[in-house]
Amino acid sequence: MKNYLNLFLLTGALFFSACNKFLDIVPKTQVPDVEQFSTEQGFKDALAGVYIIAKSSETYGKELSFSTIEHLISSWDVTANTLPQQLTLFNYGHVDVINRFNTIFSVQYYTVAHLNSILQNLESRRSVLITPGLYEVVKAECLALRAYIHFDLMRLYGPVPSDPTNGNKLAYVTLFNREINQRISFEAFKANIFADLEEATNLIKPFDPLLTYSMADVRNPNGSGSSFKPTDNFLSYRNMRMNYYAMKALDARAHLWYGDKNEAYVSAKEVVEAKNADGGLKFKLASGADYTATNYVLTTEHILGLYAFDMGKTYTDNFGNANFKKGTAATTITSQLYGNTGTDFRESSLWNLITLANGSRANVIRKYWVTTDNVTVTTDYKQIPLIRTSELYLILAEAAPFAEGVNYLKTFRIARNIGALTNPIDYPTLVQEVVKEYRKEFYGEGQSYYAYKRLNVPKQQILFVPATAVVNYLLPMPTVETTN
């Protein structure tokens, strides 16, 4: 049997894209790894290269943010006999669907291979890293990113967590070599995720400036009003790097997936209660002011995001022309999605009913709309969200003791200007309310599908699903992994 994970690990040299300053991540050259890891800068560039790969359109730049993953829960209107329609029908046997999931699977493991190459060179060439803390930070980010990607592979291709024996086993790849990577049990895969996260958080905690400075400071190093004055910008812009709090947030997300509510509660609470030196919360929920400032992607909430210098083009190519749209009447959004509150910031600000060249109308989400010119560090919103503060509040709503969980949900809803909520009578009712908020909050980000799968939500509770669809959360193993 041909094992795809072995195919791309056979290469003798790994190529990484170097970069200009971090906010202008644009590949400018490729350097074989024999030279790449001969200097500290080589390690930094190699890690920057991983973030570049992660924002490719095949994964978090499109398919695992607003495209494929959202089609699985019918977020967008589709045309008959197209790939998007087959996705809304869960037709995993369709050739185009097979190819799409093959590509996602391949690129995710390809990214893991890059991470493993860095990790192995960190050990074999550790003497190159003489700057205090550089070894620890690079290794921590690589380990945590490896956990992040593997966890998403499990969430997409693995079983529903409440029934782990019914679904695919996957490989957790920790080495860059020529060996066949064996698929392991659900529990063994889980153990690897948390082992990587535990080691990563322990390594980075003494060195991550985000524990000392505010997110505003690390986003504006050496800037006016910023108390963060690094001599090396490698530790700047922690909102776009796998930082300590992103690791804890991922730990919370993963523990909730696996049903470990106590652990999810502890990790999520550490993030939402983290404070700056002045006593203010380090990670605040967004407010109406963010929408007024056209910060529709809510970068102020990003615990971890990927800088996307081409987000303006992404919006134009996918939303500006209504390739991704939902419904032809305003009520599709205001009533069906948001419940016609009349106050919800997302309901009033996040969507636009546009008229197309042919005279038809369509609801288009503004989430990825950005101004591309004349922006500053604080007004540059070109960022793909991977983990947001709002998710931590929803995790706590499920994971906290019941009364406390209700309060976390209410706090979140107040931030979205929909404070009124009749107290849920029991925990299942609370979870139903949380699921509704996942749908509204993470539209176009991919997290709603994972919430549905985690809870094995039945068809009747999935908004917009086609009447003819047979909901199926169990993707087959990609054929690149199984075909002779």
So what's the pLDDT on residue 420? Answer: 84
User: What ranges make up the beta strands (E) of 120-232?
Assistant: none
Residue 361 parent element (H or E): strand 361-365
Joined tokens for residue 190: 């889980």
The length of the chain in residues reads: 484
Residues paired with residue 134 on neighbouring β-strands, in sequence order: none
Q: What is the DSSP letter of 460?
A: G
Task: Name residue, tokens 């776009």.
Answer: 240
How crowded is the C-beta side of 255, counted as CA atoms within 13 Å?
25
Distance separating the N- and C-terminal Cα atoms of the chain: 5
Would you say residue 407 lies in a domain? no
The alpha carbon of residue 131 and the mean position of all alpha carbons in its chain are separated, in whole angstroms, by 30
User: What ranges make up the beta strands (E) of 1-135?
Assistant: 15-17, 30-32
Those residues with Cβ within 8 angstroms of residue 96's Cβ, 6 or more apart along the chain or in another chain: 83, 86
Task: Name residue, tokens 């909050």.
Answer: 441
Distances 163 to 166, 255, 458 between C-alpha atoms, Å: 6, 16, 15
d(CA 170, CA 189): 8
Segments of the chain scoring below 50 in pLDDT: 1-32, 484
Would you say residue 326 lies in a domain? no
How crowded is the C-beta side of 362, counted as CA atoms within 13 Å?
19
So what's the pLDDT on residue 433? Answer: 97
Burial of 2 (0-12, 13-18, 19+ CB in 10 A): exposed
CB 40 within 8 A of CB 130: yes
Distances 230 to 46, 102, 219, 236, 404 between C-alpha atoms, Å: 21, 42, 12, 7, 39
Would you say residue 358 lies in a domain? no
Would you say residue 23 lies in a domain? yes
So what's the pLDDT on residue 6? Answer: 40
Q: In terms of residue numbers, what domain contains 9? A: 4-208+446-482
Q: Are strands 30-32 and 361-365 parallel, antiparallel or unpaired?
A: unpaired
SS3 195: helix
- Identify how many contiguous H helices and E strands the chain contains and give both numbers: 20, 6
Residue 54's CATH number: 1.25.40.890
Would you say residue 40 lies in a domain? yes
- Count of domains observed in the chain: 1
Task: Report the alpha-carbon angle 16-373-293, nearest 5.
Answer: 110
Would you say residue 226 lies in a domain? no
Residue 5 one-letter amino acid: L
So what's the pLDDT on residue 482? Answer: 67
So what's the pLDDT on residue 271? Answer: 98
So what's the pLDDT on residue 376? Answer: 86
d(CA 64, CA 244): 23
Residues paired with residue 388 on neighbouring β-strands, in sequence order: 302
So what's the pLDDT on residue 7? Answer: 30
Task: Report the alpha-carbon angle 336-68-324, nearest 5.
Answer: 55
Residues paired with residue 363 on neighbouring β-strands, in sequence order: 353
Task: Report the alpha-carbon angle 10-13-17, nearest 5.
Answer: 125
Helices marked H in 354-401:
389-399
Report the phi/psi class of residue 327: left, alpha or beta, with left for phi > 0 and alpha for psi in -120 to 50.
left
Would you say residue 267 lies in a domain? no
Those residues with Cβ within 8 angstroms of residue 223's Cβ, 6 or more apart along the chain or in another chain: 377
Q: Are strands 30-32 and 15-17 parallel, antiparallel or unpaired?
A: antiparallel
d(CA 288, CA 141): 33
